[in-house]
Amino acid sequence: MADIHQSTLPNGLRIVLCPDDSVPLVGMSMLYDVGSRNETPGTAGFAHLFEHMMFQGSEYVPKGDFIRRIHALGGLANGSTSRERTNFYLSLPAHQMGLGLWMEADRLRALMVTEDNVENQRQTVLEERLQRVDNSPYGEAKVRIVELSYSDFAYGHPVIGYRKDLEMATTDDVRAFHDVWYGPDNVVLSMVGDLEVEPTLDLIHELFGGIPKGGERPALHLSEPRRMQTVRTELEDRLARMPALFVNHQSVPYSDPDFYVYEVMETLLFRGPSSRLIRRMVIDESTALQVTGGYEAHRGPSLFSFFAVLPQHGDPSQLSEMYQAELERLVSEPVDEMELEKVCSQLRSSRLFGHEAVLSRATSNARSLLYHNDVYWEERYLERVQRVTAADIQRVAARDFDPDGRVILEVRPR
Amino acid sequence: MNTFPDHPPPATEPRPWTFPSTVIRQLANGLHVAVIRMPSLPIVSVRWAFLAGRLHEADEQIGAGLLLQRMLRHGTSRMGSAEFARHLDRRGARLGTQVSVDSTVVSISTLREYLGEALQLATDVALHPGLPERSLAVERIRALQVHQHERNQVESMASIWLAHAMYGTHPYGHPLATRSGLESVTREDLQSLHARIADPSRAILLVTGDVEPDEVMDSIARSVEEYDSRTTPAPEQPLAPQPIEPCVWLVPKPEAEQTAIGVGLLATPRNHPDFLPLRLVNRIFGGGASSRLFSALRERQGLTYGVYSTLDCGLWWGDLTASMMVSPEKTGRGVMALSEEFERMGTGDISPAELQHGADYLIGSFPQRASGLSGVSSLTMAAWLHGLSPDVWRNYQADIARIDLTQATDTARRWIRPRQAAWVVVGPPEALDAAEDQLQSLHRPIRRVQMGALLD
């Protein structure tokens, strides 16, 4: 197992350090435990807008300087927001890691929120929404399928938010968001690379130790009743030229022991040219031009999703039944050992290649702690996946892939 | 209570770093074999690269290269498509195929224990692909549908038209595919194109990863020395493109929610002495989120979500382009703002701080570019394809550091000539109409065109 150090500062900041001197770099992830699931009606998109605001300057790092200073060292820095978390990540030469820590600490303790910056970033986010949703084929459908799949607002609205909510955001709203969610007790700081644990811990303590805890955070009540009846909807898309199909089933959260069964089912169905759905639908029968999907795991209610773009005259209803038949085949025919071995090989390879970069390992370690409360979760992953049996797959597929528990969205070009 | 320092902690001593060393050998059949040791993870990558690509497409078969790229994934002469797919997946292997304008690459990445099989599979795909008729029918339909989809996206429309505006009918300006090209290509055409490309005497075979070069070089060489070079003639340098007709091309796209704006001009090939200084100039101009374009147009003016410039240099020619998407009502403002930065860059007005910042980024980011199997393989392959010195990557950081302000300024003036640039604006007709007065200030003819002709 890798040598991973874990500790917590008195102000609640959780720290994960993993030395690796194979390259003279350090990857750093500040994983804030706030995402779109923490938004409430009327504030959809705030978490993502706030991600933008974190690059607009702090007490000692003027607007534009965060990225400029990282770039000046040849590093990279960016942020990303999901339903579960907001991740600020950077990588830089190992001997300059102090700069990265200092800038992260400064924007955590003293972010500059001004009217101008809020307005400027609101415009940028609205442009981003235009690009990703309004001007993108199937963009509206991707929002709709999520809305249809959850009755609860927390997971049932888009991360990028709604235009009307973004337009209403005020500077005070943004300040309040920082006060509530951006405290050291709501973040995991993870670093992987050419570092020594003790001096790095000293530096983190010096820079972050004086930052007070954040405000009281509202508890998140997530509930999603089991779907008993299939929802089937159609949508016309003026930007699409080909029909498309979205199908979602409810699935289990990260913490569920069947998490690993879902990981195996995802690979079996969707990953690689010999996977069942790609082989059948895309390569052999050409009923779809493109098929993607898999396990959308969260800490709360989760999904198993399917998305396909069909040929111009393809029939989405027929394809959705073909997909359901493949899911039911998981129940009726036990997966043979050879196919399970293939899946394990694919997962092992994908894990190793995914961990080539120190930055992706830093984020992965932070996620392991935040979602699984186990910094060695990633190390144990393969062993747990290898324990999944054909009977496990039959059991979970029979329980969760109910033909009456689907959300189906058929998209037709206008 | 700690007092927060008003400046960052001092940097520690940097650790020396060098690009991994390559062991390279040329076989009797002309093939170059290179092995690079990167032992940090138990994984390997095998990559074939040929010094030929879509330039060999016939003029009436634009799209043959794209179809060949897709068809290389459908098995080999010894192994059908389904069996081949199972073979790859059982080994956790990932296949990459790329037919670019002047090079072609086949790569397989997998776990270390499957190196021998990966080598055999990659070699079979590269030299003896199956190209089955049945798969061609499927891939043709998929390519046509993607083609139809892309011709309706303002961003891809702008990029395709900009290439045409810069290169005219020169092969570098061809779109990836035309509808008639995709419809007319036969299996025999693909076999013929493949035969022109896949000549071992104009290729390199790269093995990177958890291997000992001394232990594997001989066995790799033995496994590929039997393949004779082909008798096809070496690719010829294409004629130079005609000078750009400096005008603004307006391409209406009814109902578009955004406008795509692009500007471009011809630049150096990769092996030109001005390439590195121009790369540095591009970095300053629009090569990242701390560039002039990003800072001014996104961060200060909020005009766009992203604006970048790209220096794309092939074997024979290169180009420098900048592009962004804006809301329709910002079309005129967007063009003017981009033009203003373009004009400024063309004057060679670069400050010492900007030069230092750009150089520091290129130097500092290099270990990152070269930190994985894919990065090291790509860089080594690029050096071979472009005929660069074998030491090019070991000297890269020092070469960047040597570029001074005079050289950067001269390079910007020499290559960034706004008067010779082509502009393309694709968006809703009413937005193009509304922006026309502002576009007049670019002082060049404005032409309205339809997309169809270029892609049919």
The answer on pLDDT for A52 being more than 80 is yes
Distances (CA, A) of B204 to B27, B32, B199, B222: 10, 5, 10, 15
Q: Two tokens at B423? A: 């502009």
The answer on pLDDT for A322 being more than 90 is yes
Q: Two tokens at A366? A: 């932070």
Of how many residues is chain A composed?
414
ipTM above 0.85 for this complex: yes
How far apart CA B247 and CA B352 sit, in angstroms, is 33
| φ and ψ at residue B249, rounded to 5 degrees | -95, 120
Residue A1: its pLDDT value, please?
67
Q: What is the mean pLDDT of residues A161-188?
A: 92
> How close is the nearest chain A Cα to the Cα of B377, in Å?
14
The secondary structure of residue B74, as a DSSP letter, is S
CB pairs under 8 A between A and B: 222
**Which of A6, A277, A40, A244 lies closest to A145 in space, CA to CA?**
A244
> How close is the nearest chain A Cα to the Cα of B365, in Å?
4
How far apart CA A318 and CA A148 sit, in angstroms, is 21
**Residues 128-157 of chain A whose Cβ lies under 8 A from any Cβ of chain B:** 128, 130-131, 134-135, 137
Number of helices (H) and strands (E), helices first, in chain A? 15, 11
The verdict on a CB contact (< 8 Å) between A130 and B256 is: no
Cβ count within 10 A of residue B179: 17
CB < 8 Å to A92, chain B: 364
pLDDT (tens digit per residue) in A331-373: 999 999 999 999 999 999 999 999 899 999 999 999 999 999 9
CB < 8 Å to B288, chain A: 71
The secondary structure of residue B438, as a DSSP letter, is H
pLDDT (tens digit per residue) in A130-142: 888 988 889 999 9
Residue B169: its pLDDT value, please?
86
Element (H, E) at A407: strand A406-413
Distances (CA, A) of B300 to A64, A123, B325: 9, 11, 16
Residue A235 in contact with partner chain B when CB distance is under 8 A: no
CB-count burial class (<10 Å; 0-12, 13-18, 19+) for B398:
exposed
Residue B290: its pLDDT value, please?
87
pLDDT grade, residue A175 (50/70/90)?
confident
Cβ count within 10 A of residue B277: 23
The DSSP string of A211-268 is: SPP----PPP----PPP-S-EEEEEEESS-SS-EEEEEEEE--TTSTTHHHHHHHHHH
Q: Which residues pair with A188 in a beta bridge?
A: A14, A31
Supply the angle between the helices B275-286 and B405-415 in degrees, to the nearest 10: 80
CB < 8 Å to B138, chain A: 283, 286
Residue B43 in contact with partner chain A when CB distance is under 8 A: yes
Q: Going residue by residue through chain B, which has 456 residues, state the pLDDT in tens, using 9 for 90 and above.
A: 458 999 999 999 888 889 999 999 999 999 999 999 999 899 999 999 999 999 889 888 999 999 999 999 999 999 999 999 999 999 999 999 999 999 999 999 999 999 999 999 999 999 999 999 999 998 998 899 888 888 888 999 999 999 999 998 888 999 999 999 999 999 999 999 999 999 999 999 999 999 999 989 999 999 888 887 666 666 677 778 888 888 999 999 988 889 999 999 999 999 999 999 999 999 999 999 889 999 999 988 989 989 999 999 988 899 999 999 999 999 999 999 999 999 999 998 999 999 999 999 999 999 989 989 999 999 999 999 999 998 999 999 999 999 999 999 999 999 999 999 999 999 999 999 999 989 998 889 999 998 777 778
Q: Give the sign of the dihedral formed by CA A346, CA A348, CA A351, CA A356.
A: negative
Residue B299: its pLDDT value, please?
85
- In terms of C-beta distances under 8 Å and separation of at least 24 residues, what long-range contacts does A252-257 make, across chains too? A252/A297, A252/A302, A252/A400, A253/A297, A253/A298, A253/A299, A253/A300, A253/A301, A253/A302, A254/A297, A254/A298, A254/A299, A254/A302, A254/A371, A254/A372, A255/A299, A255/A372
| φ and ψ at residue A56, rounded to 5 degrees | -100, 15
| A60: nearest CA partner in chain B | B6
CB < 8 Å to B109, chain A: 349, 353
Residue A414: its pLDDT value, please?
86
**B114-149: string of b/e by CB count within 10 Å (b at 16+)?**
bbebbbbbbbbbbbbbbbbeebbebbbebbbbbbeb
**Which of A347, A341, A358, A354 lies closest to A382 in space, CA to CA?**
A347
**Which of B341, B345, B303 lies closest to B324 in space, CA to CA?**
B303
Cβ count within 10 A of residue B348: 17
Strand spans (E) along B38-113 = 43-50, 94-99, 104-111
The position carrying tokens 């199937």 is A138
Using only C-alpha atoms, what is the Rg of chain A?
A: 22
Residue B230: its pLDDT value, please?
67
The verdict on a CB contact (< 8 Å) between B17 and A24 is: yes
Element (H, E) at A410: strand A406-413
Task: Considering only the beta carbons, identify the residue of B109, B141, B373 that sits closest to A311.
Answer: B141
A174 near A113, Cβ under 8 Å?
Answer: yes
pLDDT (tens digit per residue) in A107-125: 999 999 999 989 989 988 9
Residue B234: its pLDDT value, please?
67
A188 near A366, Cβ under 8 Å?
Answer: yes
Q: What is the mean pLDDT of residues A58-82?
A: 94
> How close is the nearest chain B Cα to the Cα of A29, in Å?
16
CB < 8 Å to B300, chain A: 120
> How close is the nearest chain A Cα to the Cα of B213, in Å?
19
> How close is the nearest chain B Cα to the Cα of A232, in Å?
26
Supply the angle between the helices A316-332 and A390-400 in degrees, to the nearest 10: 140
